Amino acid sequence: SLIVPCYNEQDNVRAFYDAAVNAFLGCGYEYELVMVNDGSRDNTGIELKKLFYEKREETPITIVQFSRNFGKEAAMYAGFCNAKGDYIAVMDADLQDDVHAIEQMVDLYLQGKDVVYGVRSSRKKDTFFKKFTAEGFYKIMQAMGVDIVFNHADYRLMSKTVLDALSEYKEVNLFLRG
Ligand code: UDP
Ligand code: MG
């Protein structure tokens, strides 16, 4: 199951679908998409519905619509709750994640890994502000003793076993990278 949190992504939804499906078709996976509209202010919800009605014969798609913006963590979690696959991967709708990295993630899953983290190989395309704040975040967390993978992303794979374990936590304020 591929989980896709979407906030104000009206121009990206379709390009995302094409890129993801092309990558998966090449690998021969059986897959579904779970796309979560996190209370977007633009036409993301409408674009997702159009995609659903157009593509439902070729790709199983579940659309989750939030009543307002709850944030990416909540959107990912709603995706987990609606996933039917043996394992899930989370990918951003804006195509900033390399869709082809999924293949390596799946290989590692098939070798028995329950969690596979996507880690940034470069921040060359980030603005100075983004790089400074993002890397600063990890450095401060590490300085405070938090065991966190440096520069990793929400782009990750998790097995059903992990999702089941996660569902036993009752936290309301999620921090899935932790
Ligand atoms: N997103 C979301 N809810 C939000 C903000 C973002 O679901 O409140 C989604 C967004 O549509 C994208 C992903 O989370 O698919 C990452 O968001 P963004 O590109 O803004 O973050 P960055 O690239 O800076 O990590
Ligand atoms: Mg982004």
Once rounded to an integer, what is the mean pLDDT over residues 96-124? 91
Rounded distance between C-alpha atoms, residue 105 and residue 125, angstroms = 23
Instruction: With a cut of 90, say whether residue 28 has pLDDT above it.
Output: no
Q: Which of 13, 73, 92, 174 to mutate to test the pocket of ligand 1 (most atoms within 8 A of CB)?
A: 92
**Hey, whose CA ends up nearest to atom 20 of ligand 1?**
7
Q: For 129-143, how does the pLDDT look when each residue is reduced to its tens digit (9 = 90+)? A: 988 998 899 899 889
Residue of 39, 25, 91, 34 lying closest to 68 (CA atoms): 39
Give the pLDDT of residue 72: 96
117 CB-near residues (< 8 Å, 6+ apart)? 149, 152, 153, 156
Q: For 51-93, how does the pLDDT look when each residue is reduced to its tens digit (9 = 90+)? A: 999 999 999 999 999 999 999 999 999 999 999 999 999 999 9
What rounded mean pLDDT belongs to the chain? 93
Give the pLDDT of residue 134: 87
Q: Which ligand is nearest to the CA of 16?
A: 1
Q: 170, 67 in Cβ contact below 8 A?
A: no
Ligand 1: does its nearest atom lie under 6 Å from the Cβ of 7?
yes
List residues, by chain if needed, whose CB lies under 5 Å from ion ligand 2.
94, 96
Instruction: With a cut of 90, say whether residue 4 has pLDDT above it.
Output: yes
Rounded distance between C-alpha atoms, residue 48 and residue 2, angstroms = 15
Give the pLDDT of residue 65: 98
Read off the pTM. Answer: 0.93
Give the pLDDT of residue 148: 86
Ligand 1: does its nearest atom lie under 6 Å from the Cβ of 69?
yes
Q: For residue 78, what is the enclosing H or E element?
A: helix 72-81
Ligand 1: does its nearest atom lie under 6 Å from the Cβ of 98?
no
Give the pLDDT of residue 174: 86
Once rounded to an integer, what is the mean pLDDT over residues 156-173? 92
The dihedral built from the CA positions of residue 9, 11, 17 and 22, taken in this order, carries a sign that is negative
Q: 39, 67 in Cβ contact below 8 A?
A: yes
